[in-house]
Amino acid sequence: MRAQHSAGARWKKLLKLEFSAIAFLSPFLIPLIVFYIWPLLRGVWISFHTWGILGMQKYVGLDNYTKLLTNGDFFKYLWNSLYFVLLVVPIIILLGLILALLIQRKIPFQTTFRSIYFLPYVLSVSVISFIWLRMFDSKHGLVNVILESLGIPPINWLTDPGAAWWSIVIATVWWTVGFVMVLFLAGLQEISPELYEAADIDGASTFHKFRYITLPGLSSVMKVQIFFQIIAGLKLFGQVQIMTNGGPGDVTNTIVRYIYVTGFKKDMFGLAAAQSTLFCLFMLLIAAIQFMLLNRKES
């Protein structure tokens, strides 16, 4: 009798602990469920329907998926986003590393340089897009004027299919490379100075110190950053929406802008939801690869 009573009491106490903890979590959990988990599931549901913004709906099974898998547009624009990633990520990582190495040592105006390189990052995407829209203007833009003074013929940055992506890449690198630099600076500070002292005693060259001390010391920051930048690149929307409107033609149309146009400009919510769902799966795949690569090295 007594044992039973205490078992019941322990049970009660456990439940109470459980609920008091969940009470602390709930202010975070409720918005998470309503504005993240629920829409994700809802998106799959919508993708099985034809659906307008006003809510006209009809169940069509997998029609939306067959439509977008047979029509090549989805893969074309997904490839455009991947192409941007291939252009921008190596540049941003390399330049971020170079900037961090340039100002890591005590030099005159060290913090001023850091502030300048990082400054564009705090501006919003519309501001940086406006600045570069004007910079790249073929007649009144500063870029062509500077090129001309160096003897290079002017380029139609925003309307030439070959140059349009580079305009977006240059604007993006200028905007976000300071972020990568700050993280590399933090990574450099974690490397023990004793390693460099020991290397100096052994008479190691600057290149050897970089290759065998600095680079390995930065490898974890670098891996996290590469994936962070890949994901940021796949999300590209604002710069192309403002600077090129996806053009010339559809050269700089990205997967996110494609979903946006399908859903909100053409009012095909069902089809856009199917595109969204496939894009989510693609992002999950990237996250899975990241998880596997980042954890393998540590174990």
Partner 1 sequence: MAKVAIYSLTVLLAVIFVIPLVWMFVVSFKPEGVSAITINEWVDFSDLTLQNYKKVLTESQILRWTYNSLIIGAITTIITVLISSLAAFAFSRKTFKTKGFWFILCASGLLIPTEAMLIPLYETVLSMNLLDSNWGIILPSLTNPLGLILIMQFMNGLPKDYMEAAQLDGCKDLRLWWSIYMPLTRSAMISIGIFYFIMSWNNFIWPYIVINTEENMVLATGLPTFLANNVLHVNTIMTASAIAAIPTMIVYILLQKHIVQGVSMTGVKG
Selected from 32, 56, 86, 215, the binder of partner 1 by CB under 8 A is: 32
Query: Which residue lies nearer to partner 1 by CB, 11 or 212?
Result: 11
Smallest distance from partner 1 to CB 198, Å:
23
Contact set for partner 1, span 11-30 (CB under 8 A): 14, 17-18, 20-22, 24-25, 27-29
CA-based torsion, 266, 269, 271, 275: positive or negative:
positive
Question: CA-CA distance, 225 to 7, in Å (whole number)?
Answer: 51
Question: CA-CA distance, 268 to 52, in Å (whole number)?
Answer: 6
Contact call for residue 134 and partner 1 (CB under 8 A): yes
Smallest distance from partner 1 to CB 233, Å:
11
Contact set for partner 1, span 141-200 (CB under 8 A): 141-142, 145, 174, 179, 182-183, 185-187
Question: CA-CA distance, 241 to 126, in Å (whole number)?
Answer: 10
Contact set for partner 1, span 54-93 (CB under 8 A): none
Question: CA-CA distance, 279 to 293, in Å (whole number)?
Answer: 21
Query: Which residue lies nearer to partner 1 by CB, 27 or 153?
Result: 27
Three-class DSSP category at 244: coil
**Span from 59-67, 134-142, 191-199, 211-219 in contact with partner 1 (CB under 8 A):** 134-142
Contact call for residue 219 and partner 1 (CB under 8 A): no
Residue burial 113-141, b: 16+ Cβ < 10 Å; e: rest: ebeebbebbeeebeebbebbbebbbeeeb
Three-class DSSP category at 235: coil
Phi-psi bin for 162: left (phi > 0), alpha (psi -120 to 50), beta? alpha
**Span from 68-76, 127-135, 155-163, 194-202 in contact with partner 1 (CB under 8 A):** 127-135
Smallest distance from partner 1 to CB 215, Å:
17
DSSP assignment of 76-94 equals HHHHHHHHHHHHHHHHHHH
Selected from 38, 59, 210, 212, the binder of partner 1 by CB under 8 A is: 38
Q: What are phi and psi of 121, to 5 degrees?
A: -60, -30
Contact call for residue 102 and partner 1 (CB under 8 A): yes
Beta bridge partners of 57: 51
Binding mask 232-251 for partner 1 (x = CB under 8 A): ---x-xx--xx---------
Selected from 74, 84, 227, 258, the binder of partner 1 by CB under 8 A is: 227
Structure-block tokens of residue 165: 């992506």
Query: Which residue lies nearer to partner 1 by CB, 165 or 275?
Result: 275
Question: CA-CA distance, 184 to 103, in Å (whole number)?
Answer: 11
> How many residues belong to the site for partner 1 (CB under 8 A)?
86
Report whether the peptide linkage leading into residue 193 is cis, meaning its omega lies within 30 degrees of zero.
no
Contact set for partner 1, span 265-294 (CB under 8 A): 269, 272-273, 276, 279-280, 283-284, 287
